[in-house]
Amino acid sequence: MLGNFSYSNPTKLYFGDDSLKYLNEELPKYGPVVQLVYGGGSIKRNGIYDSVIEILKENGKTIVEDSGVMPNPTADKLREGAKLARENNVDLIIAVGGGSCCDYAKGVSVSAYCGEDPWEKYYIRFEEPDCKIIPVGCVLTMAGTGSEMNGGSVITNHEQKLKIGHVFGENVMPKFSILNPKFTFSLPKRQMVAGIYDIFNHICEQYFSGDDDNTSDYLAEALMKSVVHSSLIAIEDPENYEARSNIMWTATWALNTLISRGKTTDWMVHMLGQAVGAYTDATHGMTLAAVSIPYYRMIMPYGIKKFARFAKEVWGIDTREMTDEQAADAGLEAMENWMRTLGLTMKIGELGATEEMLDGITSATIILTGGYKVLTKEEVKQVLAESL
Ligand code: NZQ
Ligand code: ZN
């Protein structure tokens, strides 16, 4: 491990099928007004809403409802939520949902008192908050993004055709998150597998970089093996608690900054996926799946040893008789087969992207430099074209 780093994560987690009751331990730490953030209604259908409301009422909270957070939350919604928080003097924001609700809650927490347009300040100019920040807690209902234990907040601006993430610091990360794997049972299969691929890709983004011997890479391999193993159980038996709990826990550790310690990181699949998302509003995990294979085929020659190691360590391929190139190919093929078994969308064309959009998506793709190869704009377009 050759990189220098600091590590700290302030989010307290409560994990397990009885974890919601720990809301009773957290709520007394905050003032009386709670902004309850949720999405399009899944929590009303599966009963989580009623359970949360009951606990909030038992704790004497005044509830400010903030519903209708859409998948891929928008800048317009963020502005509305910030106004709601400010006008009601909210003391705590509780997000009950997936990454969209958690990301949005963090966005609202830094926007209520920022005194200017939050989209411009945080997502265009990438400034840090210099105002009062409202604390956030999460009750997670979908495993994938890791938003429950990180500072990420991804917002979409449809007018500008941009989808941009700001990774805020420790002061914005959730104060606590409640992780009950049973809350994910009601997810439609498509959302479940999109979340599973999101987890896997978060790990890839941090794994495919660097060439030093790094503990972070060994941790990444273990997490990848666990999520692949559990995913194959969960697609056959979605209510398998053991599999769903492992998926939920790997999601958290895949993106709470642990496995990026001492490394540069890639994140180009996410940059491509976010640009596709800005044009299509497609499900996040599916946008990643659709661009991944062409992207990894393109960068593989520049990180061949790591791709060969991926084949052996993650996919259990006997690479002893193979060249690095053969092993790397076999690893990527195993990954693609697994993705097809899950039923992931493998083409951006199936997510609504068209040939006419390619130039726009290309220019909306932010090019990062931490991976094995820095792409040119032409190469970005080539990856997208191969995925059409
Ligand atoms: O809105 P409701 O009705 O709740 O339905 C949601 C939504 O339609 C549904 N859902 C969630 N839990 C459910 C459920 N349906 C039934 N039962 C349940 N238990 O699932 C749909 C998708 O939810 P969403 O929150 O949008 O999914 P996800 O967790 O994948 O979050 C996606 C957002 O997170 C961002 C993405 O870009 C996207 O905007 N990301 C955030 C990251 C971070 N904070 O670090 C990193 C990620 O890479 C990602 O970019
Ligand atoms: Zn992601």
Average pLDDT over residues 272-292: 98
- Please tell me the predicted confidence (pLDDT) of residue 218: 98
- Please tell me the predicted confidence (pLDDT) of residue 1: 87
Instruction: Please classify residue 316 by burial: count the beta carbons closer than 10 Å to its beta carbon, then call 0-12 exposed, 13-18 middle and 19+ buried.
Output: exposed
Phi, psi of 283 (to 5 degrees): -60, 130
- Please tell me the predicted confidence (pLDDT) of residue 59: 98
105: which residues sit within 8 A by CB, 6+ positions away?
Answer: 35, 37, 93, 94, 95, 136, 138, 174
C-alpha of residue 201 to centroid of ligand 2, in Å = 7
Would you list the DSSP string of 219-231?
HHHHHHHHHHHHH
- Which of 126, 127, 177 is CA-nearest to residue 10? 177
| Percent of the chain predicted with pLDDT > 70 | 100
Would you list the DSSP string of 230-264?
HHHHHHH-TT-HHHHHHHHHHHHHHTSSGGGTTS-
Residue to probe by mutation, ligand 1, list 43, 103, 271, 276, most atoms within 8 Å of CB: 103
Spatial distance between the Cα atoms of 289 and 200, rounded to a whole number of angstroms: 10
Assign 74 to helix, strand or coil: strand
Q: What is the mean pLDDT of the chain?
A: 98
Give the count of beta carbons closer than 10 Å to the beta carbon of residue 171: 13
C-alpha of residue 156 to centroid of ligand 2, in Å = 14
Spatial distance between the Cα atoms of 103 and 123, rounded to a whole number of angstroms: 13
Average pLDDT over residues 297-322: 98
CA–CA distances in Å: residue 267 to residues 188, 260, 304, 333 = 27, 11, 18, 21
Handedness of CA 375, 380, 381, 387 (dihedral sign): positive
| Percent of the chain predicted with pLDDT > 90 | 99
Which fold is adopted by the domain 12-183?
Rossmann fold (3.40.50)
The residue type at 3: G
Q: What is the CATH number of domain 189-387?
A: 1.20.1090.10
C-alpha of residue 167 to centroid of ligand 2, in Å = 13
Name the closest ligand to CA 257: 1
C-alpha of residue 327 to centroid of ligand 1, in Å = 35
Contact criterion met (CB below 8 Å) for 88 and 118: no
Q: Where are the alpha helices (DSSP H) in 48-128?
A: 48-58, 75-87, 99-111, 118
Spatial distance between the Cα atoms of 220 and 43, rounded to a whole number of angstroms: 32
Domain(s) labelled CATH 3.40.50.1970 in the chain stretch across: 12-183
- Please tell me the predicted confidence (pLDDT) of residue 159: 96
Torsion angle of alpha carbons 283, 289, 290, 294, nearest 10°? 160
Spatial distance between the Cα atoms of 192 and 13, rounded to a whole number of angstroms: 21
C-alpha of residue 62 to centroid of ligand 2, in Å = 34
162's enclosing H/E stretch is strand 162-167
- Please tell me the predicted confidence (pLDDT) of residue 359: 98
Give pLDDT tens digits for 55-97.
999 999 999 999 999 999 999 999 999 999 999 999 999 999 9
Give the count of beta carbons closer than 10 Å to the beta carbon of residue 379: 17
Residue to probe by mutation, ligand 1, list 20, 43, 51, 191, most atoms within 8 Å of CB: 191
Whole-model pTM: value is: 0.98
Contact criterion met (CB below 8 Å) for 96 and 37: yes
Atom of ligand 1 nearest to the CA of 39: 1
Q: List ligand 1's pocket residues with C-beta within 6 A.
A: 39-43, 46, 71-72, 97-101, 103, 141-142, 144-147, 150, 152, 154, 165, 183-184, 186-187, 191, 195, 198, 255, 270, 284-285
Average pLDDT over residues 131-146: 98
The residue type at 89: N
